[in-house]
Chain A
Amino acid sequence: MIEQSIPFTSQEVASTAAQLLWLIPAVPILAAGIISLLKQPMRKLSATFAIGSLGFSLLLSLFAFAHVVTGWMHGLAVRETVNFTWIQVGNSAVELGWVLDPLSAIMLVMVTFVGLLIFIYSTGYMAHDENFTRFFCFLSLFAGAMLGVVISNSLLLLFMCWELVGLTSYLLIGFWYQKPSAAAAAKKAFLTTRVGDVFFLLGIVWLFAQTGTLLFYSGGDGSMEQSALAGLLAHPAAFGLTAAGAIGLLIFAGAAGKSGQLPLHVWLPDAMEGPTPVSALIHAATMVAAGVYLIARVYPLMQAGALAGGSTTALTVVTWVGASTAVFAALIAVAQNDIKRILAYSTVSQLGYMMAGLGMGGVAVGMFHLITHAFFKALLFMGAGSVIHGCHEEQDIRKMGGLKSDMPLTFATYGIGMLALSGFPLLFSGFWSKDGILEAAQHWSVARTPFYMLAFGALLTAFYMTRQVSYVFLGHWRGHGQAHESPKVMTWPLVILAIFAILLGVIGTPIWPWFQSFLSGQGASFSFASLTEPALWILWGTSAAVFIVGLSVGLSLYGGRSPKATQPDVLESAAPLPWRWLHDRLYVDELYGVTVIAFYAWAGRAADWFDRRVWGGAVSSVAWAFRGWAGLNRFLDTYWVDGSFDKGCEEIATSGGLLARIQTGRVQTYLRILAGAVVILTVILIWSSRA
C-alpha cells in the first residue's frame, strides 16, 4: 500500500527561495522593533507596519511554498538547508540554520496567512484599546518568533525562537495586566510551559552530547539523519530505552508543555485572559501547534528503531498522552460556561488529537489536523471575539442567546467553524483530518483503546459545540443591552477563514491525498481504489454516526431552550455531582495546588528558614566576632596607644612650661644663673683637684 517515496534531495547550493527564507521571520521581528519605538497615538502606522511586514512574509512564504511544490511536481522532494556556524569551540561547533522542505513550507503559509487575517481582525477588535501600538508590537514579535520556530534547521535555533514565542505569549496573555487574573494567568502560562522546557533543554543537551550536532539536516551529518540516528539507537539509556527514545521523550515533554498536553494543560484555559485575537492566533492556531510541529520535525528521531508497522516507546507515549488529553479536555469542555474557555478546552482536546495522530499515523496525519484545526479554530475564536464584542464584553454563554438574527454573518461563519470542528461528514475539513487520525488509530498495532477514546472524544466535541452554539445563537436574548454585528474589518477575516475551513478538506481526502503525499514526498494521484475498501466506509459511517449522535443529543438537550443564567444546566440537574467535577475542571489545578505548589511553597519556606537561621546565623556570628575584635582594638587604641601618647605630650608640654619660666627676658637673671653655675663648677673643680 505504501508507495516508495522519492528520496529527499539535499542540494549543495540552496535556491533563492531557501536563501531568502530567513527574511520571513526577520521582517516581522524588525517591524516589532520599529513599532516598539512608536508613540502610543500612532495607531495607524503601527498597524500598517505589523500588517505590512506579515504580508511581506506571507508573499515570501507563498514564493517558498511555490518553489517546493514546483520541485515536487518535477519529482523532487525538496529539502534545502542553509547552515552556518554560530560558535566554534575547539573541534566542536554550534551550527544554526534554516530548512525549506514541505513541512516548513506548509507551516509557513498557514502561520503567515492565519496570522495576517488575525492581524487585520485585531485592528477592529482592539480599536478602542489605548495600548494599541504595544499590542501590535507584541503580535509582530510573536509572528516573527513563530516563523523562526518553523524554519529552524537547528534544535538550538528552534529552542531560542520557542522561548521567544513563550515570552510573547506571556506578554500577550498579560496584556491587560491591570486585571489580576490576567497577570496571574500570564505567570501561570510562563511557568507551566517552563516545566516542559526544562526537559526539552535536557533533551537538546543530550542530543548534542551524543551526536555533536543540533542541526536537523546537514547533508547526511544532521541529527535527524541516518548516521546520527543509528548512533543514538546503539546507545542504551535507562529503563530499556535507547538514547533516541529517551531524547525523544524529553523533547516530547517540551512539546507537551507548549501544546497543553496532559498533565501540563492547565495554563492554556487560563491563557484566555488575553485579548481574543491573541487567543485565536497564539492559543489556538499557531503557538500551541508549535509542540505538534516540533514532534513532526523530530519525527525521524521519535520513529527511530521502529520495525515496519510497529511503534516506538516514544511514539506510544505520544499517542497515549494525546488520546488521554483529547478525551479529558473534551469532558471538561462540556461543563464550562465561558465561551472562550469552552474553545480553550476544545483546543487542548484537538491538540491531543494531533499528538495522537502523530503517534499513530505519522507526520502527515498529525500535521493535516494541525493545519485544518488552525483555520477553523482561529475562525471559532475570532467568531467568539466578535460575539464578545457584540455583547458588550460578555463572555458567559448563559447570558447570550438568539444572536442568530442579531449577528447573522458571525453566526454563519461560527456555524461553519463549529461543523468543521465537530467533523460534519464529507463537507468540512475537520471531518477529513479527524478521520485520518481515527483511521490511523484503527490500524494502530499496539492497542485499540486510543481509537475508542478518540471516537468518544469526537462525540463529546460535537456535543459541547452544539451546546455552545445553542446557548449563544439559538433561543432568545438573555443579556443586557442590544447585541450588534461587528464591523467589516472583523467579519471579513471570518468569512475568508470559513471558506478555508470548508475547502481545506479537499487536499487531504483519501481519494486525493495531496497533503499526505506532499509531506512524505510521494507523487500525488487520484485514487478511487480506496473507496472500495469496506473498512473506510465503516470508519466514515462511525464518524458520521458519532457526529450525528453528538449533535442530536446536544440539540435535544439545549436547542430551542433559553435557560436563565441562574437556572442550572440541563445536565447539572440530571447529574449534579459529575457536573460539579467537570465544571471545576476535574480539580487538576487544585491537585497541583496541594501537591506541586504546596511542595514548592514548603520548600520555599524551608529554604527561607535555612537562609535566615543557618546561613544568616553563620554570617551574623562572623560579623559578631569581627565586631568584638574591633571593639578590643578600639579599647587598646583609646586607652593604651592614645593614652600613652597623650600623657607623653602632656608631660612635655608641662616641662616646657616649667622651663619657659626661667626665660624671663632679664639678662641679669641669666647672668645670675651663669654665675651660680660657675661657682658650682669651680667648687667641683677645686673639690676634684683636692682628691
Chain B
Amino acid sequence: MTPLTGYLMVAALLFSIGLAGALTRRNAILVLIGIELMLNAANLNLIAFWRYGPHPEALTGMMFAIFSIAVAAAEAAVGLGLVIQIHRHAHTTDLDQMNRMKG
C-alpha cells in the first residue's frame, strides 16, 4: 500500500464524516462544521496528489490548498453571519424549522 492511498483513505474518511455531519445534524453550526470538514478533506487530497504527483517541485498543489482555505474562511464567515441572522430572526438554529421557502 502506497502512502498516497493512506492519505486518500484518511481524506475519504474525513469527507464521509463531514458529509454525514452536514446531512444529519440539525444544528446549522454543526452542519457548517461538517462542510468545513469536507473542504479540508478536499484540501488534503490536493496536497496528497501534489506531493505524490509527477511535479512535486512546482508549488501548484500548495497554492490550490491555500486558495481553498481562504475561500473556506470567507465561506465560513458568510455562513456564520447567516446563521446569526437566522437565529436573531427565528430564535433557533434548528434547520428542520427553517422550511419557510417551501412552495
Interface positions of A (Cβ within 8 A of B)? 663-668, 671-672, 675
Name which residue of chain A comes closest to B101, CB basis.
Answer: A665
Pick the residue among B23, B100, B103 that contacts A675 (CB under 8 A): B23
Do residues A668 and B95 form an inter-chain contact, with CB atoms below 8 A? yes
Closest Cβ of chain A: how far from B51's Cβ, in Å?
25
Pick the residue among B23, B102, B103 that contacts A668 (CB under 8 A): B23
Name which residue of chain A comes closest to B26, CB basis.
Answer: A668
State A667–B31 Cα separation when bound (angstroms): 11
State A665–B102 Cα separation when bound (angstroms): 4
Closest Cβ of chain B: how far from A663's Cβ, in Å?
6
Do residues A665 and B23 form an inter-chain contact, with CB atoms below 8 A? no
Closest Cβ of chain A: how far from B80's Cβ, in Å?
17
* Interface mask (B1-12 → A, CB under 8 Å = 1, otherwise 0): 000000000000
Closest Cβ of chain A: how far from B24's Cβ, in Å?
8
- Residues of A contacting B39 with CB < 8 Å? none
Do residues A672 and B99 form an inter-chain contact, with CB atoms below 8 A? no
State A667–B22 Cα separation when bound (angstroms): 10
Interface positions of B (Cβ within 8 A of A)? 19, 22-24, 31, 95-96, 98-103
What's the dominant secondary structure at chain A's contact region?
Answer: helix
State A664–B102 Cα separation when bound (angstroms): 6
Closest Cβ of chain B: how far from A215's Cβ, in Å?
96
State A675–B16 Cα separation when bound (angstroms): 11
- Residues of A contacting B19 with CB < 8 Å? 675
- Residues of B contacting A671 with CB < 8 Å? 22-23
Name which residue of chain B comes closest to A671, CB basis.
Answer: B23
Pick the residue among B24, B31, B99 that contacts A665 (CB under 8 A): B99
A-B contact pairs, 19 of them (CB 8 A): A663-B102, A663-B103, A664-B102, A665-B101, A665-B102, A666-B95, A666-B96, A666-B98, A666-B99, A667-B95, A668-B22, A668-B23, A668-B24, A668-B31, A668-B95, A668-B96, A671-B23, A672-B23, A675-B19
Name which residue of chain A comes closest to B100, CB basis.
Answer: A665
State A363–B9 Cα separation when bound (angstroms): 145
- Residues of B contacting A663 with CB < 8 Å? 102-103
- Residues of A contacting B101 with CB < 8 Å? 665
Name which residue of chain A comes closest to B95, CB basis.
Answer: A668
- Residues of B contacting A664 with CB < 8 Å? 99, 102
Besides A663-B102, A668-B22, 15 more A-B contacts (Cβ < 8 Å) are A664-B102, A665-B99, A665-B100, A665-B101, A665-B102, A666-B95, A666-B96, A666-B98, A666-B99, A668-B23, A668-B24, A671-B22, A671-B23, A675-B19, A675-B23
- Residues of A contacting B102 with CB < 8 Å? 663-665
State A3–B102 Cα separation when bound (angstroms): 128
Name which residue of chain B comes closest to A678, CB basis.
Answer: B19
- Residues of B contacting A667 with CB < 8 Å? 95
Closest Cβ of chain B: how far from A668's Cβ, in Å?
6
State A569–B15 Cα separation when bound (angstroms): 144
- Residues of B contacting A668 with CB < 8 Å? 22-24, 31, 95-96
Name which residue of chain B comes closest to A667, CB basis.
Answer: B95
Ranked 10 nearest A-B pairs via Cβ: A665-B102, A665-B99, A672-B23, A666-B99, A665-B101, A671-B23, A668-B23, A668-B95, A675-B23, A666-B96
- Residues of A contacting B98 with CB < 8 Å? 666
State A667–B35 Cα separation when bound (angstroms): 14
- Residues of B contacting A675 with CB < 8 Å? 19, 23
State A675–B24 Cα separation when bound (angstroms): 12
Closest Cβ of chain B: how far from A677's Cβ, in Å?
13
- Residues of A contacting B100 with CB < 8 Å? 665
